[in-house]
Amino acid sequence: MQKITKFNIFLIPFLAFSLTAFTACQPSVDGSSSGEGIETPLVHNADLNRRFDQSMIAPVNNQIQQSTSGQLNRSIPNMNDSRISYCESVNGEAGKYNGVRDTQKYPLASVSKVFLTAWALDKLGPDYKFENLWYFKKVSDGVYDVYFKANYDPALNIEKMLYAMAVLRAQGVLKIRQLVIDETTRVYLSVLNDPHVELTEVPVSLNQSVENLRIIFNSSNWGSQTETAKANLAQFAQQKNRVINVPNTFSVDQVVYSYSKKININNYTSVIKMKSSVLLKYLKDINVNSNNYMTDMLFKILGGQTEFKKFQQSRLGLTSNDLQFSTGSGLPVISMGIRTDNLGSCLAVLKTLKFINVLSQQLNFDMGHVLLTAGTDNGTYEPTIPMSLNHNMVLKTGRLYDVPVLNVAGTTSLSSGTLYFAYFTHNFDNDDESVYQNKRDQILNSILNFYPTISSYQSLSLNSVFAD
């Protein structure tokens, strides 16, 4: 795992809170507060503050009807190349489906994030917010004990921590004697800056979280990166007409962790509640920047492989013949020298895209709010040939190098409805990457030339991805 040393971090896009409230509580940490020997994994069906009322979701028809002939209905470039799998469908209707090598399973890479997106939206809803709780009590003038419960927020970065300091300072906290965290608090300061990182441990361990908090909550460690983060917060405050005064100095004597069940919140006198921006904005950043850490943490929060398989079967209608899924990000799992990749068929991707599209209509959000809007969003997709992309296509890319994979999947807005498409390239040489990028873009361009597309997808400004 990448270790953060005395503030050796990079420029980070910031994740701001949407709501801050302060309330007084009426009425230490019970048991061992040293944190020694305490480590706990994220549990299945962790308490995420509230559950989305799934009664709001009508039964989702995500079926894609294949052509009975099994033949392509239009001429699609490069379909004779056995390294390419492709499929497309207009509204999922029979007679409007094209596919070649479309039912075989291949490595999904980061197209896996499309499946994680569907799961998170279905389980939590687009408006879900993570609630960070800061309990505190006065020890002496300006000195407080603090307990931080993050409720498994997957994006606790440098800006969020500086913002918390500003809010604590406004309540009179000049210094923290003891900062306690529990198993729901995992702090990875570079979570938004280094989206493609491959950590050996997701979420970061409690020990690493303790170290990261010790670093950021002691201003003696601050440098140019902190100043950049402060500037990001100042820009956000100006845009939202808020006052955020990050202190020039701050310190913490001790950071420890303990199980939440051992912490008596009644020993604290006050609490600050900070709610994150909506899940929709988390998913937008995940898919635009292909954030591996946030995706894999969400995967674990939602229940991991066992719970996903239930979703895959009951909601997506996909069997193990269609999809084998181990991680939310699409990064492989290597155990005892054996590598396991997420594998899925082109057709399984289409069904999942249709599932998200149906949810978007039911729950009043736009596909461009969760996927990369081509021609607008700066992210992982850069076309190699000129194309007329203007809010008429949203997509997700996927790339692996050790087992070469180059994928893209998405939807296109047509005057007659929605086109779902997926392109997989596999078993090629990395030296031929530009060749297959070009073939990918030839197919996307053929979509734009063949179908009467319309500009209908929205997007989320990159400056407001995490700022309500």
CB-CB neighbours of 178 under 10 Å = 17
Q: Write out pLDDT tens, residues 143-180.
A: 999 999 999 999 999 999 999 999 999 999 999 999 99
pLDDT band of residue 385 (cuts 50, 70, 90) is: confident
Which ranges of 171-278 would DSSP assign to H, the alpha helix? 206-216, 224-239
Question: Can you point out the beta strands (E) in 48-189?
Answer: 84-90, 97-100, 105-107, 131-140, 143-149, 175-181
Candidate ranges 70-84, 194-208, 383-397, 414-428; pick with highest mean pLDDT = 414-428
pLDDT band of residue 9 (cuts 50, 70, 90) is: very low
Phi, then psi, of 406 in degrees rounded to 5:
-140, 110
Q: Write out pLDDT tens, residues 194-240.
A: 788 788 888 999 999 999 999 999 999 999 889 988 998 888 888 88
Walk me through the domains of the chain, giving residue ranges and CATH numbers: 17-43+129-277 (3.50.80.20), 54-127+281-464 (3.40.710.10)
Residue 293 has pLDDT above 90, yes or no: yes
Instruction: Give the residue with greater pLDDT, 63 vs 193.
Output: 63
Residue 189 has pLDDT above 80, yes or no: yes
Residues 425 and 364: their CA atoms lie apart, in Å, by 34
Q: What's the pTM?
A: 0.89
Residue 126 has pLDDT above 70, yes or no: yes
